[in-house]
């Protein structure tokens, strides 16, 4: 059985716990400031930035209760902190190694941009985002198939690598709640007894190791698209004779990653500025794209995406070189051989799946994040919606007033409609990849919303708002309100079009 990971404070010996209520600031009261800063930088290299260690207590409504969180990704650690703040003793289990110790982790080349929607959960927890300018988002540079570029500036967003965000939140959770949150890695959920609130963990891959049986008062499944908790819940509801539907759709794309290239690719708008940039190279094929994002050390990493199955036809580095030269304009010439070498040796991964469940709860159990509402990267909402779900979980905990059995169903009531709306928005967005144009109703709906919404926002901004709702995805507007706005504007556009046709026909009749 693997030991639970515990974090030692600066100046303490391994295994000693930091006091339950960490002091304010970065100095760790009672410890030398320099030692504390060195500790936080050494233990938190993803990113190398200081996080707040303030522990604002949101109440102890669930003191004495135990929560088990399955999955130590961004949603798992954020949920764990909300649970700890509400008084739970929290145990987090993850089937993979800790990100900083994962030898096959590709998450360092896949970025997540935290927008205000996702940042709201961290703000509620009192967590300060990294202050290092390298993690501040400058914006996105789009390179089209003809080599033309378009710069979109961003303010207030923060860029992480996927594994970097996960590690940063793990480190933050350990520092803020050392007496309430523990992490165990390399253990996977194997069996769940929902009625008796017990879960068994074992070593993934069938390696012989003693299993661990854990009791809980609340189980939170944040274990990703292939969620074991969700699968167990489906079995439970089936045995109970209750309908439980799970939809998992593939994005139709897969990607490979490359890392560590140097070059001068920034536009004049970003010259002399410190921050993170994302370059997106598109081609004449909507499924084929190339990305490059800046790293704090001055290098670039990124992804190369194709339609699912496309990598089967590429074998040698020369195959990748030929395809990149044919598809992309503006990628530095000296990058192409280096990227091709890495891609030829790299495994392909699916570029996201879309998940919808008919309910996000079971007895003593909550599902959130990719386990309940995964989306593809098309709108950049995956991690942000997951953190927002943690904020909704906190609301459900507060409203339950210490009644742990009331939490799961209340969470479902608060979140399910928005989760389903996000699924619909993501599904409709793939009409741009299908490229059926006016013959695609999803494409027409989104187009009508954006065009009509832009016009109305100029004419009657005090009624309509500053921009179409779809263009304000990052602001925290409920997803259900965005889908309602898309549907409303599409209907209004149809009515206006019919009125225009009728008016034109009437005019023509008069002329005749």
Concatenate the DSSP letters of all residues of 59-72 into one string.
Answer: --TTTT-EEEEE--
Distant-in-sequence, close-in-space partners of 116: CB < 8 Å, separation ≥ 6: 156, 474, 475, 476
Q: Where are the domains of the chain?
A: 60-115+161-248+353-423, 253-350, 436-511
What global pTM score does this model have? Answer: 0.83
Q: Which pairs from 243-248 meet CB under 8 Å and 24+ separation?
A: 243/358, 244/357, 244/358, 244/359, 245/356, 245/357, 245/358, 246/355, 246/356, 246/357, 246/358, 247/354, 247/355, 247/356, 247/357, 247/423, 248/353, 248/354, 248/355
CATH of 60-115+161-248+353-423, one of 3.50.50.60, 3.30.70.3270, 3.40.50.10440, 3.20.20.150: 3.50.50.60
Report phi then psi at 6, rounded to 5: -125, 145
- Give residue 11's pLDDT: 33
Degrees to nearest 5, angle at CA 377 with 373 and 379: 90
- For 82-145, what is the HEC assignment? HHHHCCCEEEEEECCCCHHHCCCCCHHHCEEEECHHHHHHHHHHCCCCCCCHHHEEEEEEEECC
Exposure string of 279-301, with b = 16+ CB inside 10 Å and e = fewer, is: bbbbbeeebbbbbbbbbbeeebb
CB contact at 8 A, 442 and 431: yes
- Determine the pLDDT at residue 293: 92
Q: What is the pLDDT of residue 38?
A: 35
* C-alpha 170 chain-centroid distance: 15
In what order do the strands lie in the sheet containing 212-215? Answer: 188-193, 198-202, 212-215
CA distance 265 to 339: 15
Q: Report the largest interatomic distance among the alpha carbons of the chain, rounded to a whole angstrom.
A: 95
Give the separation between CA 324 and CA 14, rounded to whole angstroms: 50
Report the relative pairing of strands 361-362 and 365-367 from DSSP bridges. antiparallel
* pLDDT tens, per residue, the chain with 512 residues: 333 333 333 333 333 333 333 333 323 333 333 333 333 333 334 443 344 444 445 457 899 999 999 999 999 999 999 999 999 999 999 999 999 988 766 555 578 999 999 999 999 999 999 878 888 899 999 999 998 999 998 878 999 988 899 999 999 999 999 999 999 999 999 999 999 999 999 998 666 667 899 999 999 999 999 999 999 999 999 999 999 999 999 988 999 999 999 999 999 999 888 899 999 999 988 899 999 999 888 899 999 999 999 999 999 999 999 999 999 999 999 999 999 999 999 999 988 899 999 999 999 999 999 999 999 988 999 999 999 999 999 999 999 999 999 999 999 999 999 999 999 999 998 877 666 666 778 888 888 888 888 888 888 887 788 888 888 888 889 999 999 999 898 888 888 878 888 877 777 787 66
CB 48 within 8 A of CB 343: no
What's the count of helices (H) and strands (E) in the chain, helices before strands? 14, 20
**Residue 106: per-residue pLDDT:** 56
Going by their DSSP bridges, the two strands 89-94 and 289-294 should be labelled as unpaired
């Amino acid at each position: 059985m693997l030991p639970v990971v515990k974090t030692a404070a600066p100046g303490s010996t391994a295994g000693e716990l930091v006091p339950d209520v960490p002091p304010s600031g970065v100095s760790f009261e009672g410890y030398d400031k320099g030692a504390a800063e060195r500790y936080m930088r050494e233990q938190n290299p993803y990113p190398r930035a200081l996080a707040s260690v303030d522990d604002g207590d949101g109440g102890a409504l669930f003191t004495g209760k135990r929560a088990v969180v399955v999955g130590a990704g961004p949603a798992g650690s954020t949920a764990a902190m909300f649970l700890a703040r509400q008084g739970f003793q929290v145990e987090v289990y993850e089937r993979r190694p800790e990100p900083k110790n994962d030898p096959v982790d590709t998450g360092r080349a896949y970025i997540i941009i935290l927008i205000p929607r996702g940042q709201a959960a961290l703000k509620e927890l009192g967590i300060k985002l990294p202050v290092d300018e390298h993690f501040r988002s400058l914006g996105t540079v789009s390179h089209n198939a003809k080599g033309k570029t378009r710069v979109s500036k961003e303010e207030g967003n923060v860029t992480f690598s996927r594994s970097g965000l996960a590690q940063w939140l793990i480190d933050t959770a350990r520092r803020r709640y050392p007496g309430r949150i523990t992490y165990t890695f390399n253990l996977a959920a194997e069996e769940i007894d929902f009625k008796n609130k017990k879960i068994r963990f074992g070593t993934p891959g069938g390696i012989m190791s003693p299993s661990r049986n854990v009791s809980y008062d609340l189980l939170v499944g944040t274990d990703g698209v292939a969620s074991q908790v969700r699968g167990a819940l489906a079995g439970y509801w089936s045995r109970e004779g209750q309908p439980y539907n799970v939809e998992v759709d593939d994005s139709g794309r897969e990607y490979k990653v490359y890392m560590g290239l140097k070059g001068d690719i920034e536009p004049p708008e970003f010259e002399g500025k410190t921050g993170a940039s994302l370059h997106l190279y598109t081609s004449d094929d909507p499924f084929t794209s190339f990305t490059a994002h800046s790293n704090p050390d001055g290098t670039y990493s990124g992804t190369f995406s194709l339609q699912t199955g496309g990598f089967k036809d590429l074998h040698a580095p020369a195959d990748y070189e030929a395809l990149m030269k044919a598809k992309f304009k503006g990628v530095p010439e000296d990058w192409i051989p280096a990227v091709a070498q890495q891609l030829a040796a790299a495994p392909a991964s699916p570029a996201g799946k879309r998940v919808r469940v008919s309910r996000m709860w079971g007895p003593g159990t909550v599902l959130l994040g990719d386990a309940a509402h995964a989306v593809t990267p098309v709108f950049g909402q995956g991690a942000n919606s997951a953190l927002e779900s943690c904020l909704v979980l906190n609301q459900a905990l507060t409203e339950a007033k210490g009644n742990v059995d009331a939490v799961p169903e209340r969470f479902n009531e608060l979140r399910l409609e928005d989760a389903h709306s996000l699924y619909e928005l993501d599904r409709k967005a793939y009409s741009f990849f299908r490229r059926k144009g006016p013959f695609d109703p999803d494409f027409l709906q989104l187009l009508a919303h954006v065009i009509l919404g832009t016009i109305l926002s100029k004419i009657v901004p005090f009624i309509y708002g500053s921009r179409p709702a779809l263009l304000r995805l990052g602001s925290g507007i409920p997803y259900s309100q965005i889908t309602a706005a898309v549907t409303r504007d599409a209907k209004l556009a149809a009515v206006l079009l019919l009125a225009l046709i009728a008016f034109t026909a009437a005019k023509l009749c008069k002329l005749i």
